[in-house]
Structure 1
């Protein structure tokens, strides 16, 4: 099958592994920088060029769209979809997952466990907003932060108010959440592909920090998630429309709680921690789904 990987940098570990996994399985694959793709949109069809030449005929596209280019990257991915390419994560699903507030609303509406979260815009309401949440510590998160950046812990109510006032002065969008002390600075990254968790690791924050992200110095080891954790991760990804996702959970007294659902999860940390060929699982899932959709289209054409 002819595959495309949307990535700004073909040398990144995740991109390289997807290319290797695709070629090992006999597929043609090309890395495309989404910012070099440009689109023609008209009522008579959709076209795309890349670095001066037309591109078409890709059976599937695997998006590796960074947060900084979400809007344009999703427009490019949507164009591929309109041109008949399959993607495990649609443009709409990626945009939904990138907005932390929207993501939490979608998951909470379906009964997925989450840390209690509050959100408000007017500075006059800060005291009542924090009262709705409960006593500190509070976790304050930028709405579009990634890899632990823009996540702060306020241990006193006065610190929460000061941080909120500062962020409002910068016109930043943010959420405030309860701090789950029993997690002890650890979380679980469940890598969901289709309806399975193909790999999972437990990440531990370094001493003196509460963020367990590997980019922040956290450590990782393989873990076997419980049935409840698997079900929560798979449901969360499915509710957001993601066929490939990194679902971050914490273990709490009331069961697994979803911290975040990542639509472009990195492969390096989880492959190194678990020894599992996650890239291969992604490629096999994408190709199988794309082939199934193409077969259905062909059958529909025959029936008509």
Structure 2
């Protein structure tokens, strides 16, 4: 088993890392299951991790030196400024360089967080994706909407459907785009795909699809995200959907992922890939212990 040794002090074997000061439900489940299978696991808010370089190289949590095999990374932060984001990424990359195995790997997580880049990679693999455009040129975007008809404006980085807006009138969309640009935010414009008001969440761990569900939009709504009031229903994916999910997960070099797919016009389209996907509703719907599946797979990785 690879081992990162800092000044001879062993504190934990793995760390589950998230932004929140108090571990959210998914992190508590991962902690519980990690300890059940014999891993020594601690929860660490990402802001408390420090790295020292100079005469010696050390990893700290608060004032304590830390000795770990791996980090199960559950996010970099929901809304942080650019310097904090770069700082967190830098610390994690230093840890990887020093031999700490991070799940998901930092570069893989960054690529998956970038919704547009994920779609670009998928398109190169021959996976169907919605027509999508990324720009800071508002007139280019305005004319693009004219061609696409009904569209959505999406944040390039985000989750749970927050910030996702739908427009059928290009001038209303223009006002929203102007507001985004006033805050120096790029414009990611995507053709709205007519669908049965549901999408599919496919959960991949390693080279397996371990659980899947439909996410149904609430009555009167169009977003199927669980955080937006959506409801999960068990779903058995067909081979095409399984192949799509495994292909994009491998291409992004992710250890595990929540792959979101939508059906429109008789075809399947990739919407996005979540590198630190929640699994509470999926576990409830499928009666599968996804937290245990994740930590078991991480344990196997650390043995290699």
- Residue 157 in structure 1 maps to residue 134 in structure 2: no
Give the 3 Å change call, closer, same or farther, for CA 67–105 of structure 1 in structure 2.
farther
Tell me, yes or no, if structure 1 residue 266 matches structure 2 residue 278: yes
Contiguous gaps of at least 5 residues in structure 1: 293-304
1:10-68 Cα distance to aligned partner (Å, 9 max, x none): 431111111111111111111111110111135x7642111101112x22211011333
Q: 2:94 aligns with which of 69, 79, 100?
A: 79
1:166-185 map, 5 Å: 166-181=179-194, 183-185=195-197
1:61 aligns with 2:71: yes
Q: TM-score, with normalisation over the residues of structure 2?
A: 0.88
Is the contact between residue 113 and residue 275 of structure 2 (CA under 8 Å) also seen in structure 1? yes
Instruction: Determine which of 90, 114, 129 is the counterpart of 1:99.
Output: 114
Q: How many residues were matched structurally?
A: 287
* Separation (CA, whole Å) in 2 of partners of 1:68 and 1:278: 27
* Contact residue 46 and residue 83 of structure 1 kept, 8 A: no
RMSD across aligned positions (CA): 1.9
Larger CA deviation: 171-180 vs 159-168? 159-168
Indicate the residue corresponding to 2:140 in structure 1. 125
Taking the aligned partners of 1:160 and 1:30, their CA distance within structure 2 comes to 46
Which of 211, 235, 259 lines up with 1:199 in the alignment? 211
* Unaligned segments of structure 2, at least 5 residues: 2-12
**Contact preservation (8 Å) 1:140, 1:174:** yes
Could you give the per-residue CA deviations for residues 253-297 of structure 1, whole angstroms, max 9, x where no partner exists? 3522111111111121211121101011111111111111xxxxx
Q: CA 1:71–1:189 in 2, change beyond 3 Å: closer, same or farther?
A: farther
